[in-house]
Amino acid sequence: MDGIHDLGGMAGFGAIDVEADEPTFHEGWESKAFRLNIAAIGLLGAYNADEYRHAIERMAPAHYLQSSYYDRVLTAVATLLVEKGVLSLADLERRAKGKLRLALPARDNAADGIVPPDAPRFAVGDWVRVRDIHPHGHTRVPRYVRGRRGVVVHVAPLFSFPDASAHGLPVRKESTYHVEFAATELWPDDERRGESVIVDLWQTYLEEGE
């Protein structure tokens, strides 16, 4: 989905604030949110990591930007456990003594209609172009590379296609490719030389780039 999470290249953001000797967690509930998510995925098997990422992406844009990282984790955990019927929202709100703002419901994903590739198609040195797709469901192809041409610099192993697994569809594995895009290809009106971005892309996102 073309959501707020897909931040790469977006303008309007200010300085990056680096905290010296930053601890892993700043407050006790942050660690609890992290542990709940690991336990819900690994021990309960209530959802998978792609469903988790998608739940964060489904937060309304203002909610997403107002929430700290571990607050987003917590929102995804609560949303998925309620959606999966593990917990009830009314019970959580009673226990928390206040309302819970959950992520918005998932929309259908186009991944059902996509035929999985049967073999790796590209090799290092191949030019590829990113398909200009805009699924309503989960996808890991960032907006800023769609329609752009780049060169394969590395072929990674087969991994589960997230557009399918985030929507409860059967796991289908395919190659991912590290594709290098010149900054001038991504932002042609910027006069930047000697800069590139490498994006790790599933085969389904790519077509031949000649």
Partner 1 sequence: MTRDDKFAAPADRAAAVADALIDAGRLTEEDLDGVQALEESLDWRNGTKVVARAWTDPEYRQRLFSDGTAACAELGFEGPQGEYIVALEDTPELKNVIVCTQCSCTAWPVLGLPPDWYKSPEYRARVVREPRRVLGEMGLDLPAEVKVRVWDTTAETRFIVIPRRPAGTEDWSESRLAEIVTRESMIGVALVELPKA
Q: Which 141-200 residues touch partner 1, going by CB under 8 A?
A: 141-142, 144, 154, 156-157, 159, 176, 178, 180, 186-187, 190, 192, 194-200
Q: How far apart are the first and last CA of the chain?
A: 27
State how far the Cα of 187 lies from the Cα of 36, in Å rounded to an integer.
Answer: 40
What residues from 112 to 141 belong to the interface with partner 1 (CB under 8 A)?
Answer: 140-141
Single residue of 55, 83, 96, 208 touching partner 1 by CB under 8 A: 96
User: Least distance in Å: CB of 209 to partner 1?
Assistant: 18
38 C-beta neighbours (distance < 10 Å), count? 12
Shortest separation between residue 115's beta carbon and partner 1, angstroms: 20
Whole-angstrom Cα distance, residue 30 to residue 168?
Answer: 27
Q: Alpha-carbon distance 39 to 34, whole Å?
A: 9
Local structure of residue 35 (DSSP, 8 states): H
Residue 165: which H helix or E strand, with range? helix 162-165
Q: Of the two residues 36 and 210, which places its CB atom closer to partner 1 in the complex?
A: 36
Stated length of the chain: 210
Taking the complex as a whole, the smallest distance from the CB of residue 180 to partner 1 amounts, in Å, to: 7
Q: Write out the binding residues for partner 1, residues 23-62 only, by CB under 8 A.
A: 24, 27-36, 38-39, 43-44, 53, 56-57, 62
Residue 108 Cβ vs partner 1, minimum distance, rounded to whole Å:
20
In the bound state with partner 1, the residue whose beta carbon lies nearer, of 85 and 113, is 85
Question: Which range touches partner 1 (CB under 8 A), out of 22-30, 103-111, 121-129, 164-172?
Answer: 22-30
DSSP state of 118: S
User: Does residue 13 interact with partner 1 by CB under 8 A?
Assistant: yes
Quote the CA–CA distance of 92 and 73 in Å, as a whole number. Answer: 16
Distance CA 194, CA 183 (A): 8
Contact status: 91 vs partner 1 (CB under 8 A): yes
Q: Name which position in 59, 81, 106, 164 contacts partner 1 (CB under 8 A).
A: 81
